[in-house]
């Protein structure tokens, strides 16, 4: 399955849907910051830290890291989201 063309299309769709959510999150989170530069600064820091962490995690831990790291981060984001909504 991982090597079939059908899976590639599915993966592309999945990435697209994930991207939609991330784009929406930008607009949502902008309400919490006074200036737009802060949002992009923190988001970009997360990006390069993510690149380094993925490399370390995948080479040292392997597939469990690839599975659990995004799940954990998504869970943390959800908690943060709920917390922001409650305090807003």
Q: What's the rounded Cα separation, in Å, for the pair 5 and 39? A: 37
**In which region does residue 58 sit, left (phi positive, over 0), alpha (psi from -120 to 50) or beta (all else)?**
alpha
Q: Does 25 sit near other proteins (CB under 8 A)?
A: no
Binding to other proteins in span 26-65, by CB under 8 A: 26-27, 30-31, 35-37, 40-41, 44-45, 47-48, 51-52, 55-56, 58-64
Residues interacting with other proteins, by CB under 8 A? 2-3, 23, 26-27, 30-31, 35-37, 40-41, 44-45, 47-48, 51-52, 55-56, 58-64
């Amino acid at each position: 399955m991982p090597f079939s063309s059908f899976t590639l299309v599915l993966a592309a769709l999945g990435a697209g849907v994930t991207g939609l959510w991330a784009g929406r999150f930008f607009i949502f989170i902008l309400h919490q910051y006074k200036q737009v530069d802060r949002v992009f600064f923190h988001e970009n820091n997360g990006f390069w830290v993510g690149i380094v962490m993925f490399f370390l995690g995948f080479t040292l831990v392997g597939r469990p890291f690839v599975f659990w790291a995004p799940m954990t981060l998504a869970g943390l984001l959800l908690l943060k989201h709920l917390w922001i909504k409650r305090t807003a």
